[in-house]
């Protein structure tokens, strides 16, 4: 088999997000980065399939020079090689991202043969656009199944399962196919020290795609309103004791 996995460099989940002064980008100076939890499961599934059936796996990302870290992380888990679509670090919209990935996938397939499966995360952890995988599938003219919690290759077909209320929806589509997966598909492994050592020497092809003129204009970013902290003074000294008792009683602790 030949399997590709597309990942995106995103801020570590739970990190404190700060916007630039013009509110048009995230200030990344003090942020750590990773790739999305959904994509972690895509990487793990690709590695498992190649371990079981043999073949080659490739990881792709569109991002700044630093995004090679995410490619190396995936290769430390067992992915064979990487393709880095290197940008200046500015955010690309879904249409531009899908176009660049589509060109890279076509070029690799022209040289090495078609990918049986192209994995995407169901959505990225930052923008959550739900678009890139579907756009790439449309460009390749291949079946696409989204939001998957189980993937089973059965000969020349792949069985795909989505969790829905009350059970699961099951789709069986022919290969090659594009699949977007969700966290919970599997339990991703941790990279080993030997795996990280091997990842340093695995090949990463660097391509500089030309950014198309975006058809969407970014006006500004807005941070979601937090719940904030609520403090209610109960008094000072001994006079606060009855109020403390009342609060504990309301909480069912007395």
Number of Cβ within 10 Å of residue 29's Cβ equals 7
Q: How confident is the model at residue 211 (pLDDT cuts 50, 70, 90)?
A: confident
CA-based end-to-end distance of the chain:
63
At residue 81, φ and ψ (nearest 5 deg) are -155, 170
CA 14, 18, 19, 21: dihedral to nearest 10 degrees?
180
Query: Quick one: pLDDT at residue 43?
Result: 96
Query: Quick one: pLDDT at residue 152?
Result: 96
Query: Quick one: pLDDT at residue 122?
Result: 84
Answer whether 102's CB lies under 8 Å from 139's CB.
yes
Q: How far apart are CA 12 and CA 32, in angstroms?
A: 6
Mean pLDDT of 110-121: 96
Tokens of 233: 């003074």
Answer whether 148's CB lies under 8 Å from 181's CB.
yes
Q: How far apart are CA 156 and CA 165, in angstroms?
A: 29
Q: How far apart are CA 148 and CA 123, in angstroms?
A: 12
Q: Give CA 119 to chain center in angstroms.
A: 10
Peptide bond into 176 cis (omega under 30): yes
Tokens of 147: 């939001």
pLDDT: which is higher, 228 or 79: 79
Query: Quick one: pLDDT at residue 27?
Result: 67
Answer whether 117's CB lies under 8 Å from 154's CB.
no
Confidence check: pLDDT of 231 > 70: no
224: exposed, middle or buried (C-beta count within 10 Å: 0-12, 13-18, 19+)? exposed
Alpha helices in the chain (DSSP H): 37-53, 68-76, 94-112, 132-140, 193-201, 241-250
* C-alpha to C-alpha distances, 249 to 52, 121, 231, 242, 244, nearest whole angstrom: 59, 47, 18, 11, 9
Confidence check: pLDDT of 84 > 60: yes
Q: How far apart are CA 34 and CA 53, in angstroms?
A: 28
Least confident of 25-34, 63-72, 123-132, 221-230: 221-230
What does pLDDT average to over the chain? Answer: 88
Q: How far apart are CA 170 and CA 184, in angstroms?
A: 16
Q: How confident is the model at residue 205 (pLDDT cuts 50, 70, 90)?
A: very high
Sign for the pseudo-dihedral over CA of 184, 185, 186, 187: negative
pLDDT digits (tens, 9 = 90+) for 50-62: 999 999 999 999 9
Least confident of 169-173, 222-226, 241-245: 222-226
């Amino acid at each position: 088999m030949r399997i590709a996995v597309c990942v995106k460099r995103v801020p570590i989940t739970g990190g404190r997000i700060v916007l630039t002064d013009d509110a048009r980008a995230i200030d990344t100076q003090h942020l750590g980065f990773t790739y999305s939890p959904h994509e972690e499961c895509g990487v793990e599934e690709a590695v498992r399939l190649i371990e079981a059936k043999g073949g080659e796996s490739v990881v792709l990302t569109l991002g700044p020079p630093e995004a090679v870290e995410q490619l190396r992380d995936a290769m430390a888990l067992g992915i064979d090689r990487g393709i880095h679509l290197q940008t200046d670090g500015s955010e690309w919209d879904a249409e531009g991202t899908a176009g660049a990935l589509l060109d890279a996938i076509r070029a690799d397939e022209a040289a090495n043969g078609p990918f049986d499966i192209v994995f995407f995360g169901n959505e990225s952890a930052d923008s959550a656009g739900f678009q890139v995988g579907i756009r790439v599938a449309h460009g390749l003219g291949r079946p696409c199944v989204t939001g998957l919690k189980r993937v089973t290759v059965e000969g020349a077909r792949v069985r795909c399962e989505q969790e829905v209320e009350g059970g699961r929806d099951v789709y069986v589509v022919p290969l090659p196919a594009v699949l977007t997966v969700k966290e919970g598909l599997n339990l991703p492994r941790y990279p080993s020290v030997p795996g990280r050592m091997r990842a340093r020497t695995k090949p990463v092809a660097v391509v500089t795609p030309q950014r198309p003129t975006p058809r969407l204009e970014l006006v500004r970013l807005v941070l979601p309103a937090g719940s904030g902290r609520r403090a209610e003074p109960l008094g000072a000294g001994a006079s606060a004791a009855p109020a403390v008792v009342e609060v504990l009683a309301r909480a069912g602790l007395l």
